[in-house]
Chain A
Amino acid sequence: MSAALTGLRPEAAHRPRTRLRAVPTWLLIAPALLYMGVVFLLPLANTAWVSFSDPMPGLHNYIEVLTTPAYLRIYRNTTLMALLVTGICIVMAYPLALYIARAGGAVGAVLLAATGLSFWISFLVRTYAWTVILGSRGPVSQVARWMGYDPPPVLLFTSAASIIGMTHILLPFMVLSIYVVLARIDPVLLRAASGLGATRGQTFRQVVLPLSMPGIISGSLLVFVFCLGFYVTPALIGSPRDLMVASLIATQIEDLLAFGTASAMAMLLLGATLLMLAVYDRALGLANLMK
């Protein structure tokens, strides 16, 4: 192609690539990396340092945190709560995700929008709503009274309330994780299964469920990780006797000013979180979150 024909300056025709890149790559990425170094990594590094040095240098904070029976009970309780919430989320999210993926149309779109909307409403607003719903004069108690349970069972400030609240907040993650995978299943596979004589149940168990496992795994890892470090909901509507790790860490700082102990607990929680994320990365690739 001649320069005269296209009316271009010759160097522009020969080197369009270099002309697209006026700004060097390092200049684009350096500010963000520098920011994260100072505002994210530095505070974490400081906490790590405090965990080994406050009030005196050594491993004593970690020894205390890993040998005190009361603390160990809280870690076990937190893990069990996280597993339970993850399980409940799978069971509740699956039918909704399946319906949205299969039905399409107006009902599917409304259900998808409702799930997305819930994602966006603040933790505190939703936790506050549960104090009303589960409260002694709320709708659940009214129904219980109407059914003959008088006085109605106490729900607020119990582990059950905490589980309901956390499930509500984390459910959209699970619904969307499963939905994304289900929506990609080729409907031809389902027709093939029924054409070959499979019942609805058989098609579900042998075709749909196995193909949706990646969504279940990805949703479960996310829900489990978020649950391990959950603070607001259990602290506000959970049982004061059934602490979770995050509340324990907050108490160490707010009530006891035990910075070393709190920092060691935070580092262990960070370790557990990173371990789960490494599993996620191995199985599904963390970078996929960005796609």
Chain B
Amino acid sequence: MIHHDRPSRLNLVLALAVALFILAPVLVLVPMSFSASRSFEFPPRSFSLGHYAAYFQSDAWLSATANSLAIAAGCSVLTLLLSVPAAFALNRRQFRGQNLARALLLLPMLVPSIIMAISYYTLYAEIGLNQTYAGVLMAHAAGSIPLALIALSATVRGFDRNLERAAAICGATPWQGFRMVTLPLITPAIVIAGIFAFVHSFDEAVISLFIAGREVNTLPRRAFESIRLDADPVLSVVSTLTVVLVIFLFSAVSLLRRRAAMSR
């Protein structure tokens, strides 16, 4: 008897072809960043570190990088302050209007960025928040709260509540129980949620394009203008460095997930 629960050879070939398509940008960008030429020729004829030197000598690129890192870190903190308590309310308590609250807190993830971009631009123009760090930070956090809640929900709902009851029975106050039992159990999920918020803000381009202006030049904003206007080869360096950062964060999240799964 032949079993068909193993994938066929054809399936493998098709899967590898699609995976090649998925990985194509990374496979092209990394060699491009070491190209010695200013043109977009691929594969490059000769290699150098010239584009890297140009990146580290460019005030415009470096300040855009610093802006993006600072805003992403701020977004991460603000998002956690709001979403950790909300995750407990949504997953561990019952209250009136719970489904509505959940929908409202998830929706910003699903509304197209262009709609939010022109909405912030129009409203901020009236209250003077365009081209300010605060304005960009607030808009980014609204978009990352849904992602943080998704990262937190399974852990907050899933861990063994008898551990908390045991702490209470042993005489711990609710605050002690939270700090000494609950918090250590959900720390990996909190770090993952913080990373999600960081990456969301670091990558956000459309809203920043409208509201950040020249005053708060973020990396995606500068990258957008560079693709549109001057095709600066330094962009391949920025892209490669971003990919390295993402691979690092992605591995961290995978490790934390494994640890969170073990503590359940």
Residues of A near any B CB (own CB < 8 A): 6, 8-9, 12-13, 16, 19-23, 25-29, 31-33, 35-36, 39-44, 46-47, 50, 92-93, 95-96, 98-100, 102-103, 107, 111, 113-118, 120-133, 135, 137-139, 142, 168, 171-172, 187, 190-191, 193-195, 198, 200, 203, 225-226, 228-232, 236, 246, 249-250, 253, 259, 262-263, 266, 269-270, 273, 277, 286-287, 289-291
Are A20 and B164 interface neighbours, CB within 8 A? yes
Other A-B contacts than A25-B89, A114-B19, A253-B118, 20 sampled, CB-CB below 8 A, are A22-B173, A35-B82, A36-B104, A39-B138, A39-B142, A44-B111, A47-B122, A50-B122, A121-B25, A121-B26, A128-B29, A128-B223, A129-B26, A132-B28, A132-B40, A172-B22, A191-B4, A231-B112, A269-B115, A273-B112
Q: Are B22 and A131 in contact (CB under 8 A)?
A: no
- Given A28-B88, A249-B114, verify A123-B22 contact (CB < 8 Å): no
Which residues of A lie under 8 Å from residue B177 when comparing CB positions?
19-20
- B34 CB–A CB distance under 8 Å: no
Residues in A neighbouring B112, C-beta threshold 8 A: 226, 228-231, 246, 269-270, 273
CB neighbors of A among B247-264 (8 A): 247, 249-250, 254
Chain A residues contacting B21 (CB-CB under 8 Å) are 92, 168, 171
B77 interface contact, C-beta 8 A = no
B36 at the interface (CB under 8 A from A): no
Q: Which of B19, B90, B175 contacts A111 (CB 8 A)?
A: B19
Q: Are B3 and A194 in contact (CB under 8 A)?
A: yes
Q: How far is the CA of A130 from the CA of B235 in the complex (A)?
A: 13
Which residue in chain A gives the minimum CB-CB distance to B6? A102
**Are A232's CB and B42's CB within 8 A?**
no
Count the A-B residue pairs with Cβ separation under 8 angstroms: how many? Answer: 304
Q: Mark B69-113, 1 if CB is under 8 A from A, else 0.
A: 000000000000111011011100101000101111111101111
Q: List 20 A-B contacts (CB under 8 A).
A: A23-B174, A32-B82, A95-B11, A103-B6, A118-B23, A121-B242, A121-B246, A124-B205, A129-B26, A133-B24, A172-B22, A194-B2, A226-B112, A232-B224, A249-B114, A262-B118, A269-B112, A277-B110, A287-B99, A291-B153
Contact with A116, one of B3, B199, B250 (Cβ below 8 angstroms): B250
Within the complex, the shortest CB–CB distance from A193 to chain B, in Å, comes to 7
Q: Once the chains bind, are B174 and A229 in contact (CB under 8 Å)?
A: no
Question: CB distance A232 to B118 under 8 Å?
Answer: no
Given contacts A19-B174, A28-B86, A249-B118, is CB(A111)–CB(B15) below 8 Å?
Answer: yes
Write the nearest CB–CB distance from A28 to chain B, whole angstroms.
4
Given A231-B113, A289-B150, check contact A96 B82 (CB 8 Å): no
Partner of B32, one of A132, A236, A249: A132
Chain A proximity of B72: nearest CB distance (Å): 12
| Complex CA distance for A259 and B125, rounded to whole angstroms | 12
Min distance, Cβ B90 to any Cβ of chain A, angstroms: 7
Q: Which residues of A contact B85 (CB under 8 A)?
A: 23, 27-29, 31-32
Contact yes or no, B25 A29, CB < 8 A: no
Residues of B within 8 A of A130 (CB): 25
> In the complex the two chains form, is B250's CB within 8 Å of A120's CB?
yes
The reply to whether A120 and B153 form a contact with Cβ atoms under 8 Å apart is no
* Interface majority SS (helix, strand, loop, mixed), chain B: helix
Smallest CB–CB gap between A228 and chain B, Å? 7
Q: A120-B250, A124-B205 are in contact. Are A290 and B42 (CB under 8 A)?
A: no
Cβ of A9 to closest chain B Cβ, rounded Å: 7
Expressed in whole angstroms, the minimum distance between the Cβ of A40 and any Cβ of chain B is 5
Min CB distance A185 to B, Å, is 9
By the criterion CB–CB under 8 Å, are A263 and B122 in contact?
yes
Q: Across chains A and B, which 9 residue pairs bring their CB atoms closest together, nearest first?
A: A229-B112, A129-B25, A22-B174, A99-B15, A95-B14, A43-B119, A32-B86, A29-B89, A122-B203
Contact B82 A131 (CB under 8 A): no
Contact A124 B93 (CB under 8 A): no
How far is the CB of A188 from the nearest CB of chain B, in Å? 9
Residue of B nearest to A222 (CB): B110
Instruction: List the B side residues contacting A203 at CB < 8 Å.
Output: 4
**CA A229 – CA B203 in complex, angstroms?**
17
Q: Nearest Cβ distance between residue A229 and chain B, in whole angstroms?
A: 2
Measured between C-beta atoms, what is the minimum distance from B210 to chain A in Å? Answer: 8
Q: Are B123 and A286 in contact (CB under 8 A)?
A: no
Q: Is B61 an interface residue (CB 8 A)?
A: no
A226 to B165, CA, bound (A): 43
Compute how far the CA of A277 lies from the CA of B42 in the bound complex, rounded to whole angstroms.
41
Give every chain B residue within 8 A of A40 (Cβ-Cβ).
104, 107-108, 116, 142
Query: Are A128 and B239 neighbours in the complex by a CB distance under 8 Å?
Result: yes
Tell me if B28 and A44 are in contact (CB < 8 A): no
Question: Taking the nearest CB of chain B, how far is it from the CB of A202, in angstroms?
Answer: 9
Do residues B227 and A127 form an inter-chain contact, with CB atoms below 8 A?
Answer: yes
Cβ-defined contact, B224 with A124, below 8 A:
yes
The smallest C-beta distance from A30 to any residue of chain B, in angstroms, reads 9
Inside 8 A of B247's CB, which chain A residues have their CB?
117
Determine if B139 is an interface residue (Cβ-Cβ < 8 Å).
yes
Interchain CB contact under 8 A, B7 and A99: yes
